């Protein structure tokens, strides 16, 4: 029985299943998903159903900023008096038109996302891991009622800052949100898992691991999976379509020629 972590799947359902198969993932294993299953890739409804069926058993997901976008957009859509809504990534329209999702389906997604935790604090092989979408501090751990969901899902401080001025002593933080394809990452790790260890100014040892390989960003990106038992890494290139391709086809009249 092994423990795995993945993040920022962004609707790449078929890629995700292929990645799990490559790693040999079974129902006896445990999977943590660090948020952002929504938007961009065209398989997020199927991905949502897969996760919801297993959530709380051997699959656990924390909230990402794209789940927040979806909930805010859905509220905007429901409250719209003139038929217009923000729909930031076109996901609500895509669900209705391409996936024939009902209002009940959308409410089910909203309720599930609305109840997700902001982080997980776990132990594997005697080592402590904090799994969060984007950012977290020791104060967040000690005072969870004060946590800001926008900070934990949007803040890029863990990714962009060399070092870490507010480390969580004795824990390795695993996060995503910022693809390692970004230019401030070394060229040899772009699209792959990035690990950094160091010592803060106050003498605390830290380790942070970014597992967002930018699967839907560019061809060089990957969907990444990390096995915590032995720190083995697994990668797959995107094989799913994109939401934007559906709208482009619609705009061109549905002609594949």
Q: Kindly list the domain boundaries of the chain, sorted by start residue.
A: 3-251
Q: Which tokens go with 227?
A: 């096995």
Distance CA 108, CA 124 (A): 32
Instruction: Report pLDDT for 145.
Output: 87
Instruction: Report pLDDT for 255.
Output: 46
**pTM for the whole thing?**
0.93
pLDDT band at 43 (very low <50, low <70, confident <90, very high): very high
- Of 112-126, 143-157, 208-222, 241-255, where does mean pLDDT reach its minimum? 241-255
What's the mean pLDDT in 135-156? 90
Give pLDDT tens digits for 231-246: 999 999 999 999 999 8
pLDDT band at 84 (very low <50, low <70, confident <90, very high): low
Distance CA 148, CA 144 (A): 9
What's the mean pLDDT in 67-85? 77
Asked whether the predicted pLDDT for residue 257 surpasses 80, the reply is no
Neighbours of 44 (CB within 10 A): 28
Instruction: Report pLDDT for 256.
Output: 45
Give me the half-sphere count of Cα atoms (radius 13 Å) on the Cβ side of residue 35: 33
Give pLDDT tens digits for 166-184: 778 889 999 999 999 999 8
| Residue 196, phi then psi, degrees to nearest 5 | -140, 130
Instruction: Report pLDDT for 88.
Output: 87
What's the mean pLDDT in 47-54? 98
Instruction: Report pLDDT for 203.
Output: 80
Query: Above pLDDT 90, what percent of the chain?
Result: 73
Asked whether the predicted pLDDT for residue 13 surpasses 70, the reply is yes
Check if the beta carbon of residue 118 is closer than 8 Å to that of residue 64: no
Sheet holding 205-210, edge to edge: 119-124, 127-132, 171-175, 205-210, 194-199
pLDDT band at 163 (very low <50, low <70, confident <90, very high): low
CATH topology of domain 3-251: Purple Acid Phosphatase; chain A, domain 2 (3.60.21)
Give the β-pairing of 194-199 and 171-175: unpaired
What's the mean pLDDT in 116-123? 97
Better-scored residue on pLDDT, 81 or 148: 148
3-state SS record for the chain: CCEEEECCCCCCHHHHHHHHHHHCCCCCCEEEECCCCCCCECCHHHHHHHHHHHECCCEEECCCHHHHHHHHHHHHHHHCCCCCCCCCCCHHHHHHHCCCCCHHHHHHHHHHHHCCCCEEEEEECCEEEEEECCCCCHHHHHCHHHCCHHHHHHCCHHHHCCCCCCCCCCEEEEECCCCCCCCCCCHHHCCCCEEEEEECCCCCEEEEEECCCECCCCCCCEEEEEECCCCEEEEECCCCCEHHHHHHHHHCCCCCC
Asked whether the predicted pLDDT for residue 227 surpasses 80, the reply is yes
């Amino acid at each position: 029985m092994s423990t795995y972590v993945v993040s920022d799947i962004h609707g790449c359902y078929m890629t995700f299943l292929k990645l799990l198969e490559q790693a040999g993932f079974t129902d006896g294993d445990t999977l943590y998903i660090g948020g952002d299953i929504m938007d961009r890739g065209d398989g997020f409804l199927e991905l949502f159903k897969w996760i919801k069926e297993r959530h709380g058993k051997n699959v656990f997901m924390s909230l990402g900023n794209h789940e927040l976008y979806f909930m805010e957009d859905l509220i905007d859509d429901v409250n719209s008096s003139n038929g217009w809504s923000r729909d930031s990534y076109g996901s609500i329209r895509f669900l209705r038109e391409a996936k024939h999702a009902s209002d009940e389906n959308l409410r089910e997604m909203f309720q599930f996302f609305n109840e997700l935790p902001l982080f997980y604090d776990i132990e594997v092989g005697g080592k402590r891991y904090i799994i969060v979408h984007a950012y977290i501090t020791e104060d967040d751990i000690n005072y969870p009622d004060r946590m800001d969901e926008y900070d934990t899902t949007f803040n890029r401080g863990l990714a962009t800052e060399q070092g870490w001025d507010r480390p969580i002593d004795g824990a390795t933080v695993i996060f995503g949100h910022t693809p390692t394809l970004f230019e401030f990452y070394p060229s040899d790790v772009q699209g792959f898992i990035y690990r950094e260890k160091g010592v803060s100014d106050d003498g605390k040892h830290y380790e942070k691991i970014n597992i967002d390989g930018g699967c839907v960003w560019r061809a060089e990106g990957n969907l990444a999976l990390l096995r915590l038992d032995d720190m083995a890494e697994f990668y797959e290139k995107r094989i799913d379509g994109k939401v934007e391709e559906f709208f482009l086809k619609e705009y061109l009249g549905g002609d594949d020629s």
